[in-house]
Structure 1
């Protein structure tokens, strides 16, 4: 019996990595999330991926691997490298070479936010858009930019690093080593920094003590915001203000039809995006303000990265 081909899409994040298999009908037929463990060597993650992939094919002997697409922080489409990802301790890794040793098939890589943008373009709400920007909100902040129907890589493969645009001179120290980057204000780590600053101003506030001790995934803040907690509102208002400033810079330069938000904190939806929209409009020239939409991803959580990464092979 002739085996059917499948493509492996891998979405590497600062906290978790999601991988899945995409069939010829461009459906995700299996997916799994595993911890990234970015403080350990990348070989630890690749060994666990290899084990999971081997188990999948043991259970699905009618399938064969046609190729692997990877979305990763600082993944470079041109060089095949993951280059000094700011929230991971791997340094420079030739991920194409490492994956070829393990799997012996075609492998392509791009930035994780670029992969999410490809997912939205081929499978999501951006199917009929030519100019849009996907913003990934998680441990850090990434962006994938489509302009005139094409994904922008720039001359060296690093176009679209919105998370490291400076929005405050001399501001917070970012994991990249610079100060005042958008990511240091708008991300899980950025919101945690905001909570810590609020706590320094009001060290006996029980809500701030509790929320600072929680894993920052938006859930507790969302509940507090929805119940009318004014501190939660101020945290999201400040985060949205900084996000809007970054969006205004990008919109002025690129004139997108929409910003599409994907990742853990995109679930906060209007709680952040309402403030971001107001801030963006305040910082835009009038002709831009009302025609740029802020939209949540149209793909299921965890699927945009897989589909986008797989599309590097499927739409080669």
Structure 2
């Protein structure tokens, strides 16, 4: 029998389930809206139904050996989701235990950024690395840290929340309840807000002035920056400055070989990478300068969290 693992990427909007081989091939996947389920138990049942439907679509030579789940505020230590701000179900949610019981196989939970980190480590450009940092840039900023060949988890499984370090005292309001978190500046919504603050505080001509706040996206800002729009270019410069300075602090603490950027905002390419790298290098200690690679994810358009969630199972089986 050929072994497969279910990789489950649970987001605040959508949940994606994929069946992944040990070699990193996703044989099939299906997505559904997370909050279409009225209760958390209904959500568990929906995931189980999708996993079983996908299994039934394969021939009988495949055996499901486990399910890995990347979830917001997911704890590797307990298998629970703990008060995720973007989920309607609050408190401690027994995700791992519920899926293990329903599927009859081991289930391992971690947070979504750690799952994506595992995907890069097992199936992407971080294969063979023992020290690297993985940054996901989308509606927020997630991060995962591999230190001396181990995924850094911390005491409760929530270590590595770079997006919620304070970078501006009494700065922008964050969804977590704090102010001045890095992700309020370095994320798709953060870039948009930076662009509109630039428009409000200058008379510089810009095509972005024709857009209402809610109708503009990071992709649109990137398109105008590529055409030479000075406000759009400045928005990326300021975003790269914030990220680069934060990464310089990360390097001082963890001395990684490489830092990977993944997610929608990273697709802006050098518009983001160049200022980020420049500001990172300017703020590094001498011993670290020009020694840390800043790289795009090697997973391309693949769902890193699905692959990484499945990799949780392969990693656990490797221990045995």
* TM-score with structure 2 setting the length: 0.88
SS of alignment partner, residue 146 of structure 1: strand
- 1:303 — aligned with what? 303
Per the TM alignment, residue 256 of structure 1 is displaced from its structure 2 partner at its CA by: 0.8
Per the TM alignment, residue 29 of structure 1 is displaced from its structure 2 partner at its CA by: 0.9
Per the TM alignment, residue 28 of structure 1 is displaced from its structure 2 partner at its CA by: 1.2
Distance 2:225 2:199 in 1: 17
Distance 2:36 2:189 in 1: 15
Per the TM alignment, residue 228 of structure 1 is displaced from its structure 2 partner at its CA by: 0.8
Is 1:114 matched with 2:118? Answer: no
Partner deviation per Cα, 1:189-245 (whole Å, 9 max, x = no partner): 3223324434544699762452633363x3212211111111111111111111112
Distance 1:101 1:152 in 2: 27
SS of alignment partner, residue 315 of structure 1: helix
Per the TM alignment, residue 170 of structure 1 is displaced from its structure 2 partner at its CA by: 1.1
Long gaps (5+) in structure 2? none
Is 1:145 matched with 2:145? Answer: yes
Per the TM alignment, residue 98 of structure 1 is displaced from its structure 2 partner at its CA by: 2.9
- 2:154 — aligned with what? 154
Long gaps (5+) in structure 1? none
SS of alignment partner, residue 160 of structure 1: coil
Aligned length in residues: 313
Question: Which stretch has the larger CA shift, 119-128 or 84-93?
Answer: 84-93
**Preserved CA contact (<8 Å) 2:206 2:230:** no
Q: Given the superposition, is the C-alpha separation of residues 46 and 231 from structure 1 closer, same or farther in structure 2, using an over 3 Å criterion?
A: farther
Partner deviation per Cα, 1:94-119 (whole Å, 9 max, x = no partner): 21133235323210011211112211
Kindly report the root-mean-square deviation, in angstroms, between the aligned alpha carbons of the 2 structures: 2.5
Distance 1:7 1:225 in 2: 41
Distance 1:40 1:221 in 2: 37
- 2:208 — aligned with what? 207
The structure 2 residue matched to 1:9, chosen from 2, 7, 10, is: 7
**Preserved CA contact (<8 Å) 2:195 2:231:** no
Per the TM alignment, residue 36 of structure 1 is displaced from its structure 2 partner at its CA by: 3.7
- 2:315 — aligned with what? 315
Distance 1:314 1:7 in 2: 8
1:1-316 to structure 2, matched below 5 A, reads 4-37=2-35, 42-43=40-41, 45-62=43-60, 63-92=62-91, 93-201=93-201, 207-210=208-211, 212-214=213-215, 216=217, 218-316=218-316
Q: Given the superposition, is the C-alpha separation of residues 131 and 81 from structure 1 closer, same or farther in structure 2, using an over 3 Å criterion?
A: same
SS of alignment partner, residue 177 of structure 2: coil
SS of alignment partner, residue 310 of structure 1: helix
Distance 1:284 1:240 in 2: 15
Partner deviation per Cα, 1:23-66 (whole Å, 9 max, x = no partner): 24432111234444499754565454334323222322513422
Distance 2:166 2:172 in 1: 10
* TM-score with structure 1 setting the length: 0.89
Per the TM alignment, residue 164 of structure 1 is displaced from its structure 2 partner at its CA by: 0.6
Distance 1:228 1:196 in 2: 17
